[in-house]
Amino acid sequence: MKFIGIIPARYASTRFPGKPLALLGGKPVIQRVYEQVAGVLDEAVVATDDERIEQVVKAFGGKVVMTSSSHKSGTDRCFEAYTKVGDGYDVVVNIQGDEPFIQPRQLRAVQECFVDATTQIATLVKPFTESDGWGALENVNSPKVVIDKNRRAIYFSRSVIPFVRGQERDGWLSGHTYYKHIGLYAYRAEILKEITALPQSPLELAESLEQLRWVENGYVIKVGISEMETIGIDTPEDLEQAELFLKSRR
Measured CA to CA in angstroms, residue 165 lies from 131, 148, 168, 169, 177 at distances of 22, 20, 8, 9, 15
pLDDT of 120-134, one tens digit each?
999 999 999 999 999
User: Exposed, middle or buried: residue 150 (CB in 10 Å: 0-12, 13-18, 19+)?
Assistant: exposed
C-beta of residue 92 within 8 angstroms of C-beta of residue 4: yes
Find the Cα–Cα–Cα–Cα dihedral 169, 170, 176, 182, rounded to 10°: 90
Provide the residue type at 74 as one letter: G
88 located within any domain? yes
What pLDDT was estimated at residue 250? 67
Co-location of 35 and 98 in the same domain: yes
Structural domain range at position 173: 105-180+200-229
Co-location of 17 and 58 in the same domain: yes
* Average pLDDT by stretches of 10, the chain with 250 residues: 95 86 96 94 95 97 94 91 91 94 94 97 96 93 95 97 93 94 95 95 96 97 92 87 85
As a whole number of angstroms, the distance between CA 162 and CA 148 comes to 13
Co-location of 73 and 87 in the same domain: yes
121 located within any domain? yes
Co-location of 40 and 96 in the same domain: yes
DSSP 71: -
Largest CA distance in the chain: 58
Co-location of 215 and 127 in the same domain: yes
The total number of structural domains that make up the chain: 2
Co-location of 149 and 74 in the same domain: no
pLDDT of 202-230, one tens digit each?
999 999 999 999 999 999 999 999 998 77
Q: What is the CATH number of the domain that holds 8?
A: 3.90.550.10
Co-location of 26 and 50 in the same domain: yes
Q: Give the DSSP letter string of 167-216.
A: S-GGGHHHHS--EEEEEEEEEEHHHHHHHTTSPP-HHHHHHT-THHHHHH
